[in-house]
Structure 1
């Protein structure tokens, strides 16, 4: 027995359109979980960078760790927003939207890499 759409959360996603093929909803859920795993990896990398004796200038190491932790906080936002937007698009038969925060996350990783490279060369 399927629950009524009004009892499922979030209502603004499940209360619209028709039920999509379960395979597409499950693939959307796997993408959500991949973003969550990415978040955990980013957070762990930021903490490890500060906790371990990495041969990088301290200012660069701290800045890179801060960027990684900030990205780790943004990734679950992307997970939730991306999941909801994709599920709603599936239910309404619309094209799938692009990730909202993929650009800022990629740019943040680029900045992290540059900080670490400069910090390694300066050490």
Structure 2
């Protein structure tokens, strides 16, 4: 198991090149920014989208975006820690479940939005 110090710093293995550690942190922050954008988009859809389609579908799109953003935020720390550990131990980087989650989640929301737009034009 990881030995952790402070705010989740992994101390196991050898200290990697600082550039890789900083790149890992930038990637973590990018995932957090993406999560925040999804959450903000979900709130905006649920609260401020004009009457487009039924309120239930708008609410589902909003909840879907917020749930997707929440999942990405939660997974981002796990990804950062696993990547840091792999770098320290000289192992291959671990698989990343966030990429398919984001791709399929955004696709599902886009399809729901498309349905709303098509239904509204009729």
| Ranges in structure 2 where 5+ consecutive residues have no aligned partner | none
Q: Report the equivalent of 2:61.
A: 64
Instruction: Give the corresponding residue for 1:34.
Output: 30
Q: C-alpha displacement at 1:95, in angstroms?
A: 1.4
- Runs (4+) of structure 1 moved beyond 6 Å? none
The TM-score normalised by the length of structure 1 is 0.86
Does structure 2 retain, via aligned residues, the 8 Å contact 1:78–1:99? no
- Where do 5+ consecutive residues of structure 1 fail to align? none
Q: How does 1:37-52 map to 2 (within 5 A)?
A: 37-52=33-48
- The number of aligned residues is 117
Choose 23-32 or 53-62, whichever is displaced more. 53-62
| TM-score after normalising by structure 2 | 0.86
Query: 2:5, 2:82 → 1: CA distance?
Result: 19
Structure 2 vs 1, CA of residues 30 and 6 (structure 1 numbering), >3 Å: closer, same or farther? Answer: closer
1:116 & 1:33 partners in 2: Cα distance?
28
| RMSD of Structure 2 on Structure 1 (CA) | 1.8
CA distance in 1, matches of 2:59, 2:6: 42
